[in-house]
């Protein structure tokens, strides 16, 4: 699009330009954040611009008209040095000997990493921490004595006010209180965290230079009684992405190009629930376990749908090494998908979740925590501790932080004094009770600012604000997993050949 600049010369907006763009904000006043132009197209003699708002989540990217662009502050893209090409295409990833579509389809950006534990002064090693005594949750003021047979990591006291037992160590950054944004999740330690191994049917996408995968390619998805507006790119067949609506069978997740095709499909589709074994049912909530090898088409279609709402991920068509746990809501028409998580059949890193998603119509209703709680219930049956695969999405990160905080605080506040002695518990014991990996237990305690260092031992101090906040949160948490309703027998996949 060519417009006149202030000096009378003509300028052309091209991909890579940056300038303020009017963003329609329903909650606050309209604003003009800086945005990058990712694509330009002409529709009915009018130019449209696909923009990404800098420092905003990509789910807010959109097509805008020229009248929403502030041309006075136009910034042209900087020229960059040429980078080596692979397979003849800049920034492309090496292809396998097999057809690339069979291996993977490149996609977009997603996630914020759950922070590694921020070190408190001279924090014991994992072996020592596993034996360290942790905090008692008590309301009245009392004097605590450390166990002599264990290295203490914290003894907890609440007396109505938060009290700092020792001045913060010089140069040490403290975690923000619970409820922070993604910025709070950055690693505050001086060391560089080691990147975890990426696995999963959807794994972290490390190539962000493909302009096509940075743009939403689907306008709308109709899934049962819901119409969903995708947040991110998903590699559905290209001929379907130009349609105003993509239709999905809500039971088998097959994608179709028209309502007529969907109606014809429904006359032949016998499914009324996800294919697989129902391993949990309480009230209207059910969980189904789907084997990625036995139900390959369903698993691939589930990943395509999930990719619409997960960023920084690459879709893998090889679903054989994964199990998918789909949560549904039951009514007279069948079992309707609410969300899911996937996990590796064998994980050397103790991952109990590879990808996790609650579909947008069911978000902010407690289903995300229910999925997380279910994943840990499976770990309890397996006799293992588990952790989610990182990086997590921004929403996934918040959900896990909240779940870990509530789960650990629930245990601490249930502790009772033993014969008048201060109640104590170890990191190992918390991990064994909850199946939450020790590293996540420690990082959560640090995130909540519960750990203090006093007279050579670690003390956990629960303030009245944390106690009251936890009680309010638990009153709102109506959905819980009932272990008695779980019918699950773990399999030893190491002895099952290629699954």
Residue 131's pLDDT band, with cuts at 50, 70 and 90, is: very low
CA distances to 94, 284, 319, 352 from 324, rounded to whole Å, are 29, 20, 9, 11
Check residue 94 and give its pLDDT: 42
Q: Is the pLDDT of residue 112 over 90?
A: no
Element holding 287 (H helix, E strand): strand 285-291
d(CA 243, CA 258): 9
Q: Determine phi and psi for 23, rounding to 5 degrees.
A: -110, 120
The pLDDT of 194-214, averaged and rounded, is: 55
Give strand pairing partners of 343. Answer: 323
Residue 142's pLDDT band, with cuts at 50, 70 and 90, is: very low
Tokens of 183: 């910025």
d(CA 41, CA 200): 35
Instruction: Specify the higher pLDDT residue, 123 or 433.
Output: 433
Check residue 190 and give its pLDDT: 35
Instruction: Specify the higher pLDDT residue, 207 or 424.
Output: 424
Check residue 419 and give its pLDDT: 72
d(CA 443, CA 452): 14
Max avg pLDDT among 79-83, 147-151, 241-245, 419-423: 241-245
Residue 115's pLDDT band, with cuts at 50, 70 and 90, is: very low
Instruction: Specify the higher pLDDT residue, 42 or 375.
Output: 375
d(CA 228, CA 359): 9
3-41 pLDDT tens trace:
444 444 457 888 899 999 998 876 667 789 999 999 998
Range from 192-201, 229-238, 315-324, 476-485 carrying the lowest mean pLDDT: 192-201
Element holding 452 (H helix, E strand): strand 451-454
Check residue 171 and give its pLDDT: 37
* Residue positions annotated with a catalytic role: 389
Query: pTM to 2 decimals?
Result: 0.72
Residue 140's pLDDT band, with cuts at 50, 70 and 90, is: very low
* Among 328, 277, 324, 259, CA closest to 296: 324
**What is the average pLDDT value for the chain, to the nearest integer?**
76
Range from 314-318, 397-401, 465-469 carrying the lowest mean pLDDT: 314-318
Residue percentage of the chain with pLDDT more than 90 = 47
Residue 496's pLDDT band, with cuts at 50, 70 and 90, is: low
309-347 pLDDT tens trace:
988 666 666 899 999 999 999 999 999 999 999 999 999
Structural domains in the chain plus CATH codes: 2-73 (2.30.30.140), 101-204+273-499 (3.40.630.30)
Range from 96-105, 271-280, 311-320, 484-493 carrying the lowest mean pLDDT: 96-105
Max avg pLDDT among 257-266, 441-450, 467-476: 257-266
157-184 pLDDT tens trace:
333 333 332 233 333 333 332 333 333 3
Check residue 451 and give its pLDDT: 80
């Amino acid at each position: 699009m060519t417009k006149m600049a202030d000096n009378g010369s003509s300028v052309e907006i091209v991909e890579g330009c940056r300038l303020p763009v009017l963003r329609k904000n329903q909650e606050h006043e309209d604003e003009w954040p800086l945005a990058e132009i990712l694509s330009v197209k002409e529709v009915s003699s009018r130019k449209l611009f696909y923009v990404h708002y800098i420092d905003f989540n990509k789910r807010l990217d959109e097509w805008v008209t020229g009248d929403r662009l502030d041309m006075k502050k136009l910034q042209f893209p900087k020229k960059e040095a040429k980078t080596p090409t692979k397979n003849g295409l800049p920034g492309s990833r090496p292809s396998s000997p097999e057809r690339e579509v069979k291996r993977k389809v490149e996609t977009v950006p997603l996630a914020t990493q759950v922070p590694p534990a921020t070190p408190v002064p001279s924090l014991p090693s994992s072996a020592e921490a596993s034996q360290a005594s942790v905090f008692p949750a008590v309301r009245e003021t009392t004097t605590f004595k450390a166990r002599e047979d264990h290295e203490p990591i914290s003894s907890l006291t609440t007396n109505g006010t938060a009290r700092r037992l020792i001045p913060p160590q010089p140069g040490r950054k403290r975690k923000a209180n619970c409820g922070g944004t993604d910025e709070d999740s950055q690693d505050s330690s001086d060391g560089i965290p080691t990147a975890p191994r990426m696995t999963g049917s959807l794994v972290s996408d490390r190539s962000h230079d493909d302009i096509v995968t940075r743009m939403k390619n689907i306008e709308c998805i109709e899934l049962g009684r819901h119409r969903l507006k995708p947040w991110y790119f998903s590699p559905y067949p290209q001929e379907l992405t130009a349609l105003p609506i993509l239709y999905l069978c809500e039971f088998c997740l097959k994608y179709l190009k028209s309502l007529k095709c969907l109606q014809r499909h429904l006359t032949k589709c016998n499914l009324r629930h996800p294919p697989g074994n129902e391993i949990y049912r309480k009230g209207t909530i059910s969980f189904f376990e789907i084997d990625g090898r036995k139900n390959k088409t369903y698993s691939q279609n589930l990943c395509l749908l999930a990719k619409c709402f997960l960023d920084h991920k690459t879709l893998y068509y090889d679903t054989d090494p994964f199990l998918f746990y789909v949560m549904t809501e039951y009514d007279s028409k069948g079992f309707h998908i609410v969300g899911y998580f996937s996990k590796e059949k064998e994980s050397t890193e103790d991952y109990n979740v590879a990808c996790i998603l609650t579909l947008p119509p069911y978000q902010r209703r407690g289903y995300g925590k229910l999925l997380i709680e279910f994943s840990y219930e499976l770990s309890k049956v397996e006799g293992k501790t588990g952790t989610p695969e990182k990086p997590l999405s921004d929403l996934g990160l918040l959900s896990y932080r909240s779940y870990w905080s509530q789960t650990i605080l629930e245990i601490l506040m249930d502790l009772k004094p033993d014969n008048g002695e201060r109640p104590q518990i170890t990191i190992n014991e918390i991990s064994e009770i909850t199946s939450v990996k020790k590293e996540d237990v420690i990082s959560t305690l640090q995130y909540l600012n519960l750990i203090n260092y006093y007279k050579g031992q670690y003390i956990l101090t629960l303030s009245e604000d944390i106690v009251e906040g936890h009680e309010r949160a638990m009153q709102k948490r109506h959905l819980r997993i009932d272990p008695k309703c779980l019918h699950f027998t773990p399999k030893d996949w190491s002895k099952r050949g290629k699954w």
